[in-house]
Amino acid sequence: MDGFRQFAQNTVKAVSEILSFPISVSDEQGYIIGDTNPSRIGTIHAPSIEVIKANEVILFTEEKASSMDNVLPGVAVPLNFDNKTVGVLGIIGNPNEVESYAYLVKKYVEMMWQETLHVQIENLETMTLESFVQYILLNKSVNRNQINHYCKLLTVEPNLKRICIIVDIGDYLLKNVQSNGGTIPRDRLKKTLLNCVVRTFEESDQTICAFLNTERIVFLKSIKSEDDFLHFMKGFKDRCEKLLEMFCVYKVDDVRIASGNMFLSIEDLNQSYEQADWLIRYGKRLSITSKIYSYYDWDILIDMLPHQLDPKMQKIVVRRLKLLMTNEAHAELKHDFMVYCNHNMNISQAAKALFIHRNTLIYRLKKIDNLTGLCTSRFEHCTLLYFVLKAESS
């Protein structure tokens, strides 16, 4: 009952601030564990044992109390939690005056204790869930027995297809804790952000959503089939944009969201996490405008593909392009070529976008041809040069 002792002392302090009568709380063995007069804490209060056994209110008049050790006039009422008497509340004073307060304070104390227990249980469940996701996502190899133990505690089915979604909120929580300007308490804020994520990606009885650390929320979504996965990913970006809108309400503005691919069981889910983590890291490194990443977004793949060229091959190609890379007009030629590619190799449209005459652009493209030996009118040659120059940009 250590938790009850701490609760009793806090309750006595809180009630004493609004009630003019001194109060005390005894545990089920009759020891005073909370009292307006601190010197009584830890002493035995024999009548409390009588109250617990009878499970009823007992009045102590001044005459009756005077013949008893460590007993003051007043009212003693049993405190019940989960259909069990676990303590006694005493209100000190004339029994006729304080009896009416006793029932009110009893209800208040019992309600607050139930709420405290609820919060403690909820916090324990949250800590267990966070430990679980850390274990399965941050370890390349996991123990099957350990996973089964966690799954049993959390009533999680280990053999469902799942994907890992990372919601990276940066240092938002840290800043919120450090700020003094009327912010939401941290635990309540964490719960609010988790609720936003769950609402975005759809809650089910197998939903796993938790903070991996202060910077990241992970959502481990169960998937029924490949078709279900493809359908979900098709609407992934739209869902994420709605989540960003919800986060804006709480001034969470530095957010990046990424999804890994689908894997067959919880044991393999760290691979989905690593894929999502890789997308976020590359997105930051390349300063990609979009902050929503997935392997089912062609724009994201096109941005990242140049950086996946084999280093040896890239080195060979760059050496082959040395004359272009070292030319004094390299920056201008590169910019014009990239615009040309981004306008589907249409010289007229590219020249218009560059605010130059089309003949000027033709001249510059021919200069690239002469320096590289490539033919910028050929799609394959443009693709090769585009990816190499794109990789050089970051």
Is residue 127 included in any domain, yes or no?
no
pLDDT at position 235 over 60: yes
Last residue of a domain, one of 243, 276, 304: 304
Please tell me whether residues 316 and 287 are part of one structural domain: no
pLDDT digits (tens, 9 = 90+) for 93-152: 888 888 888 888 888 888 888 887 778 788 888 899 999 999 999 988 888 888 888 888
In angstroms, the CA 96 to CA 46 distance is: 22
Statement to judge: residues 270 and 326 lie in one domain: no
Whether 326 and 257 map to the same domain: the answer is: no
Kindly calculate the radius of gyration of the chain based on its CA atoms and give it in whole angstroms: 34
Q: Is-contact 372 318, C-beta < 8 A?
A: no
> Does a structural domain hold residue 86?
yes
Q: State the average pLDDT over residues 62-85.
A: 85
pLDDT of residue 394: 57
**Distance in angstroms (rounded) separating the CA atoms of residues 20 and 294:** 63
The pTM score is: 0.69
Of 268, 248, 269, 253, the C-alpha closest to 166 is 269
pLDDT digits (tens, 9 = 90+) for 10-38: 888 888 777 888 888 888 888 998 888 88
Say which residues have a Cβ less than 8 Å from residue 219's Cβ, sequence separation at least 6.
164, 165, 167, 197, 198, 201, 207, 208, 209
Terminal-residue alpha carbon distance, the chain: 60
pLDDT of 187 strictly over 90 = no
Does residue 378 belong to any structural domain of this protein? yes
pLDDT of 336 reads 95
In this structure, what is the dihedral angle of CA atoms 206, 208, 209, 212, given to the nearest 10 degrees? Answer: 180
The answer to whether residue 181 scores a pLDDT higher than 60 is no
Q: Is residue 92 part of a domain?
A: yes
Same domain, 259 and 333: no
More confident residue, 184 or 187: 187
Domain stop point among 287, 304, 321: 304
Q: Residue for token digits 């306008």?
A: 343
Enumerate the β-bridge partners of residue 25. Answer: 34, 89
Tokens of 164: 């890992």
**Residue 50 sits in which domain range?**
2-116
Query: What number of other Cβ atoms are within 10 A of residue 224's Cβ?
Result: 11
Q: Are residues 188 and 271 in the same domain?
A: yes
**159 and 252 inside one domain:** yes
> Residues 71, 162: one domain?
no
Question: Is the pLDDT score of 303 beyond 90?
Answer: no
In a domain, 386, yes or no: yes
The whole-angstrom separation of Cα 295 and Cα 272 is: 11
Would residue 270 count as lying in a domain? yes
Asked whether residue 274 is domain-assigned, the answer is yes
Who's near 363: CB < 8 A, 6+ residues apart? none
Instruction: Specify the CATH number for the domain of residue 15.
Output: 3.30.450.40
Does 45 fall in a domain?
Answer: yes
With CA atoms as reference, report the closest residue to 159 among 47, 265, 257, 295. Answer: 265
- Backbone φ and ψ for 215, nearest 5 degrees, come out as -100, -15
Q: Count of CB atoms within 10 A of residue 375's CB?
A: 14
Check whether residue 170 and residue 112 sit in a common domain.
no
Query: Where among 234, 269, 304 does a domain terminate?
Result: 304
The verdict on 6 and 42 lying in the same domain is: yes
For residues 153 and 8, state if they share a domain. no
When divided into structural domains, the chain yields a total of 3
Asked if residue 295 and residue 162 are part of one domain, the reply reads yes
CATH value at residue 209: 3.30.70.270
Same domain, 158 and 18: no
Q: Is the dihedral of CA 68, 70, 75, 76 positive or negative?
A: negative
Residue 321 is part of a domain; what is its CATH number? 1.10.10.2840
